[in-house]
Structure 1
Amino acid sequence: MPFDDPRPAPPRATPAAPRATRDARAIAFWLLGVAGMVWIMVAIGGATRLTGSGLSIMEWAPLSGTLPPLTEREWNRLYDLYRSIPQYELVNRGFGLEGFKQIFWLEWIHRFWGRLIGLAYALPLAWFWLRGRIPAGLKPRLLLLLGLGGLQGAVGWFMVASGFEADRTAVSPYRLVVHLGLALGLYAALLWTALGLLRPVPAALPEPAHGSVRRQVKAAAWLVVATLLAGGFVAGLRAGLDYNTFPLMDGRLVPEGYWRLSPIWLNLTANIAAVQFNHRLLATLAGLAALGASFAAWRRLPAGPARAACIGLGLSVCLQYGLGVATLLLVVPVWLGTLHQATAVLVLTAALAALHALRPAAGTRTDREPRGTGG
């Protein structure tokens, strides 16, 4: 007579379970699509900044601004507005209506793409909500993401408005960094939420190797974030147009005049030499940390998504580092500068994918993160 199996019988599948899984996957793919649109938006924003197009539209018109100028009279009205700001007088004076149209269209595309992102998020959200297909506990997060998207639009105008001040030909570097940081934060939240829906249960990985690699990836990820924000100040100050040698800066490891501004802290955000050096230093540290984490994952983790994600982080950082050096040596051509900014989002994606794949399983001492939809 066979022994009775003491383990409880597995629960029978119910029609609700497969539907919940399908709903979670559908929402995840929708969020990934929106995140992809945000990624493109970051690239368009880089091109807008590099071409000096961001100040060409001087009106905040969320609804009426959806349509471009349709008459010659409207084109001339907008051109006259643009001719009233310092950028025209000091940078583009006399380039004519045709020159104005060139910079106008890129900024218009930038804003129009932002409106499309809003629709791509709000309309499916309403549909999922009304159909009752949003998993329990996820609604507050989705509403928060909607609010962050709206805030990003307002911050974008707040940034642009700084370029209309009497002593400026470009936007405030501080506001630019806030705008960039919020865009990257929104992208990260969309991606992390989607990954949590697709992979709600962490993979079982060997300890203590799992925790050791995770700590290394965390360090690399924070260095990546710091490098991205430092890059925002490089962009805001156009610091990439100076010190176009590598690895030295005017023949020195640390450039002369690093501490020339007073108070001292101002050098970290307003001194071209210091800002570029800091970006180089952080990028180098992030690269070394990512390569170290990749090597540790390759040696200590079994083949699978976690190890692949860690190796992907190392490869993406190497690619971005090479693009950064090339951008600097070639004195920031628009196409390469735009590619460098877009690849920064790739690095952030790789870091988040690695961290998500390395989440500790429930019941471990390092488990500090909620399971399920939160990732």
Structure 2
Amino acid sequence: MPTKRSIFEEVGDTPKQTAAPGVIDRGGQGARGAIRVWLMALFALVVVMIVVGGLTRLTDSGLSITEWKPVTGAMPPMSDAAWAEEFDKYRAIPEYQLQNAGMSLAEFKVIYWWEWGHRQLGRVIGLVWAAGFLFFLATKKIPNGWTGRLIFIGALGGLQGFIGWWMVSSGLEEGMLDVASYRLAAHLGLAFVIFGFIAWYIYRLGRSQADILQARRSGDTGLARLSTALICVTFLQIVLGALVAGIDAGRAYPDWPLMAGGFLPPQPFDLVPIWRNFFEDDGLVQFVHRMVGYGLFLFGLFVWARARKSANGHTRRAYHLMMGMMVLQMVIGIVTVIHSAPWHIAISHQLGAVILWALVLYARFLAQYPIPQTIRGN
């Protein structure tokens, strides 16, 4: 029989029939913390991969390996004869014949090691993904609903390998000195897509499923929609940056804010058909990158101003960080142009894009899933 309660009994003293602490929250949640650490390792490797890829491009090393051997290519040349064979293959392509004729074997080894390291890092990322996924799958530690997401990351990584070779193969064709810029843009764009999904999953796994469901009810839908648009514009600017890098357009027109003394670069539409100018004319490609950069900055300011009205302090701080990085990235971009894109500044600009991408995604995440705060706003 239920016991009688005193009329003076405090409400907070009432015994409650609850499950053991954490039982509901742990149900089907798997090893969220361990999977998050594994994804953080992949996150770091992908960042390094993007930077190494940029340096490979800036050192003109990307065409030094003329074959795609996903398995046997993991071993570099181990003898003088093997090095001579690789060098002979390189001397047969247009880049050597039209640009690097007379290169010594020692000079070839420098660019070879850059490209080999880039490909080797890709293999390491694939192995880290496969080992982690198979372990968590075998031990049944994957949270409910996450198996498909983790497979998706691996599938994107596999696709990236194919696109990487598709990119390199374009530079081996007759008359080509570099890879096709649009293929380079596809390769870098997919790298940022992979990086973005890994970052988003890390953000989600950092909080319990119950917390995510609860937070969604207090999310700022309007701010989240604006931030989604900001993500799209940011991604567009990143891809346009890859087009600039693909034809070394960042080393042309080292004046700012004008280009060769005018708003538009000289003869921006000389190539026929006209669409080629948007991929192959260094002046127009740089001009478009500049204009979209200005648009991104202004739109970022608008979203930031909107985010300042958020009642959640964590969300406001995330947008402050995003806006601060956007300002810094724009400054680095201008410095890169003024100095004709030396490798150390250019790679800083690319790394800045990585950081900005992660911060835009994090701000968007908190707009949708705000962190609970006290009445004081902490």
TM-score of the two chains, using structure 1 as the length reference: 0.89
Per-residue deviation, 1:17: 4.4
**Amino acid in structure 1 at the alignment position of 2:257:** P
Matched residue, 1:330: 339
264-273 or 312-321: bigger deviation: 264-273
Inter-partner Cα distance in structure 1 for 2:226 and 2:198:
24
Matched residue, 1:55: 63
SS of residue matched to 2:313: coil
Inter-partner Cα distance in structure 1 for 2:308 and 2:217:
13
Query: Would the aligned equivalents of 1:309 and 1:353 in 2 still touch at CA under 8 Å?
Result: yes
264-273 or 100-109: bigger deviation: 264-273
Inter-partner Cα distance in structure 1 for 2:316 and 2:303:
10
Inter-partner Cα distance in structure 1 for 2:97 and 2:204:
51
Per-residue deviation, 1:7: 12
Matched, 1:120 2:128: yes
Residues 63 and 8 of structure 1: CA distance in aligned 2, closer, same or farther (over 3 Å): same
SS of residue matched to 1:358: helix
SS of residue matched to 1:154: helix
Matched residue, 1:88: 96
Per-residue deviation, 1:320: 1.3
SS of residue matched to 1:136: coil
Query: Would the aligned equivalents of 1:57 and 1:82 in 2 still touch at CA under 8 Å?
Result: yes
Per-residue deviation, 1:158: 1.1
Note the residue ranges of structure 1 that are not aligned, 5 or more in a row: 362-375
Correspondence list, 1:1-375, <5 A: 1-2=6-7, 9-13=17-21, 17-18=25-26, 23-199=31-207, 200=209, 201=212, 204=215, 210-304=220-314, 306-359=315-368
TM-score of the two chains, using structure 2 as the length reference: 0.88
Per-residue deviation, 1:82: 0.3
Query: Would the aligned equivalents of 1:219 and 1:289 in 2 still touch at CA under 8 Å?
Result: no
98-107 or 311-320: bigger deviation: 311-320
Q: CA RMSD in A?
A: 2.5
Per-residue deviation, 1:298: 2.9
**Amino acid in structure 1 at the alignment position of 2:237:** T
Per-residue deviation, 1:245: 0.7
Structure whose CA Rg is larger: 2
**Amino acid in structure 1 at the alignment position of 2:253:** Y
1-10 or 72-81: bigger deviation: 1-10
**Amino acid in structure 2 at the alignment position of 1:242:** A
Query: Would the aligned equivalents of 1:44 and 1:338 in 2 still touch at CA under 8 Å?
Result: no
| Greater relative contact order (CA < 8 Å, ≥ 6 in sequence) | 1
SS of residue matched to 2:31: helix
Inter-partner Cα distance in structure 1 for 2:18 and 2:35:
28
Inter-partner Cα distance in structure 2 for 1:300 and 1:188:
24
Q: For residues 131-170 of structure 1, what are the alpha-carbon distances to aligned partners after superposition, in whole Å with 9 as ceiling and x for unaligned?
A: 1100111111111211111111111111111111011010
SS of residue matched to 1:331: coil
151-160 or 219-228: bigger deviation: 219-228
Per-residue deviation, 1:216: 3.4
Inter-partner Cα distance in structure 1 for 2:327 and 2:168:
33
Residues 207 and 139 of structure 1: CA distance in aligned 2, closer, same or farther (over 3 Å): closer
**Amino acid in structure 1 at the alignment position of 2:47:** W
Inter-partner Cα distance in structure 2 for 1:105 and 1:358:
44
Q: How many residues align?
A: 359
SS of residue matched to 1:258: coil
Per-residue deviation, 1:183: 0.9
Residues 281 and 9 of structure 1: CA distance in aligned 2, closer, same or farther (over 3 Å): farther
Note the residue ranges of structure 2 that are not aligned, 5 or more in a row: 1-5, 371-378
Matched residue, 1:366: none
Per-residue deviation, 1:270: 2.5
Per-residue deviation, 1:268: 2.4
Per-residue deviation, 1:18: 4.6
Identical-pair percentage:
33
Query: Would the aligned equivalents of 1:87 and 1:169 in 2 still touch at CA under 8 Å?
Result: yes
Inter-partner Cα distance in structure 1 for 2:160 and 2:95:
24
Inter-partner Cα distance in structure 2 for 1:136 and 1:300:
32
